[in-house]
Structure 1
Amino acid sequence: MTLGFRPPKDPTSFLDYAERLEGRYGFIEIPGSAVESLAQVSLEARAMGYDLTLHARYQDIYPASPEPTIRETSLRILEEDLIRAARMGAMLVNVHAGNIPWTDYPPSGLSPAHQALREAEQKMREEALERALEGFSRLTKLASSLGVRLALENLPAPQEFPRTPGEMTQFLEVPDLYFCLDLGHARMAGEPTEGFLEALGERLVHVHAHTNDGYFDLHLPPASEEVVPFAGRHCTLLVELPPRGVEEYLELYQNWALAGLVPEAIGGKVR
């Protein structure tokens, strides 16, 4: 596996992280919401030897919306991100599929309408998945023409999708679509890592490594044992932490080097 980090969104801090993590981390995942402000420093990071990936924009993006105008606009925004990624030399674009617009129903046992409402929700979910498959078929054709891998990420909340290995496998029918396993999202969904590995096989090429309490998406540093399944795998593994300080990334690398999961680094050079 190749390690990467999520950078701060201001150029000065970005370069500070890149300089201090050089020789340990091999790629940087650029947030789609900050592509323009980080354009120059991203080029500098590439000159330092880093590869780049891009996390496509996702806030208010609904590529499976039942409203055609919203769906088309969302797909065009994602296409813009693919083109931006190709121009900056990124090797992969990570993307969300979004959510359905409704999960508001009473708990089981509280109302006799519970089951009927759950069935209506499931139907809405299935229809959204069909629209998502169509949209991602379009996006992967563009990604392939640009020489960029498109990786679909699992999401944590009940109204989001894909959330489970079963839902992820429905996207296997889309040619040239790859997958990102977000470990924190899987934990919140109550889904073990092994299920995603078995379901997606070699098309699981990207990992977001962080952890939480099972309820909230806290993006805490992951434990060594959480990345063990990927240590010998040909994949990119992003340590996805908020910009609390570069020291978290340095400490994680040291811990993983001591555990034999990554090469030991001395003085910024990997031994």
Structure 2
Amino acid sequence: MTLLGVSTAVLADRDDFAALLAYRPDVVEFYGYRADALPAIARFCDENGIRPALHTPVSRDPAALPRRFAPTGPDPREAAAALRLTEATVRCAAELGALHVVVHFPSPYPPYPQEGFEEAGQEFLAATAALAREHRVPVLVENLSAHPLLCTPEQYHRALAAHPDLGVCLDLGHAHLLGADRGAPLGFADAFGRRIRSMHVYETTADRYPHHGHEPADPGRTRAEGHLGLADLLPELLRRTHPVVLVMEHGPVAAGAESAVADWLRELIHHHDAGATT
């Protein structure tokens, strides 16, 4: 059975966890909190029957979270910091009994030197896989679209081939921004299948993304308009991957608008689950 989740990205006030209840989520993915927020996260989830998940970075440093998460550098100090933050996030997830940890990979920031890139990436992935095994927490690598050396389904498949302990979080918007000729979401589904344990679901187009970011999923938007065409795409993705959870990762919406997208996704999941058991 696929669960329905929501990211704290939807919150206008990131400390107003109660606002998440309008989505009636099975899972909440908490993105970029300090470890001192864990008691409040645990209490909120326990009181509402919600399974927590974490998205790096989670920091044990009482100071502000780092501005950048850059696991492949090219600055080795940033790469080392990203690994420390990943370790902190996995440890916190183990304490919470979290469903998973999501890790952005690789570094999305220019410049993009080829020298040392593959080695840095494999070192980070090997260390992260070891953390997942040690703490018995699923760690999911989230696809990005910015790095020219690692963005397509084939490139991710090669990068993760030696690390079967790591799962995949398929970010639909990031995949869509690559364009159909470079794989798009269905290419990731074919490359990874059931290794995709989670999907970040939202709407976008290449021209809207810089101005609007992650927009709420909308069944009325079509591929002909440059959108993902989620009404057709999501059922096919569910069929090919059977993920543990779909996570709504759009930006804040007007009060009262939360249930529309959640109910639509919940109905899609229901039809998928019903078909998978017949």
Matched ranges for 1:57-96 at <5 A: 57=57, 59-96=67-104
Cross-structure match for 1:236: 245
Matched, 1:261 2:268: yes
Q: How many residue pairs align between the two structures? A: 238
CA distance in 1 between counterparts of 2:185 and 2:15 reads 36
Change (3 A) 1:204 1:248: same
Cross-structure match for 1:2: 3
Q: Helix, strand or coil: the match of 2:161?
A: helix
Q: Helix, strand or coil: the match of 1:155?
A: coil
Residue pair 2:177, 2:206 contacting (<8 A) in 1 also: yes
Matched ranges for 1:6-21 at <5 A: 6-7=7-8, 8=11, 10=13, 13-18=16-21, 20-21=22-23
CA distance in 2 between counterparts of 1:29 and 1:160 reads 28
Matched ranges for 1:122-271 at <5 A: 123-124=114-115, 127-157=116-146, 159=147, 162-170=150-158, 171-190=160-179, 191-215=183-207, 216=209, 218-222=213-217, 223=219, 224-232=231-239, 233-245=242-254, 247-256=256-265, 260-263=267-270
Matched, 1:56 2:56: yes
Matched, 1:102 2:111: yes
CA distance in 2 between counterparts of 1:237 and 1:154 reads 15
Q: Mark the structure with the bigger radius of gyration.
A: 1
Cross-structure match for 1:32: 32
Can you list the C-alpha shifts for 1:218-250, whole angstroms capped at 9, x where unaligned?
Answer: 211223333212445142110101122453431
Amino acid at match of 1:21: Y
Amino acid at match of 1:31: Y
Residue pair 2:132, 2:166 contacting (<8 A) in 1 also: no
CA distance in 2 between counterparts of 1:39 and 1:161 reads 39
Change (3 A) 1:16 1:76: same
Q: Helix, strand or coil: the match of 1:4?
A: strand
CA distance in 2 between counterparts of 1:75 and 1:54 reads 15
Can you list the C-alpha shifts for 1:41-88, whole angstroms capped at 9, x where unaligned?
Answer: 442223321111111028412221244333222211111111111112
Residue pair 1:11, 1:38 contacting (<8 A) in 2 also: no
TM-score, length-scaled by structure 2: 0.76
Task: State the Cα RMSD in Å.
Answer: 2.5
Identity over aligned pairs, percent: 24
Q: Helix, strand or coil: the match of 1:46?
A: helix
Q: 1:162, CA displacement in angstroms?
A: 3.6
Q: Which 5+ residue runs of structure 1 have no aligned equivalent?
A: 104-120, 265-271
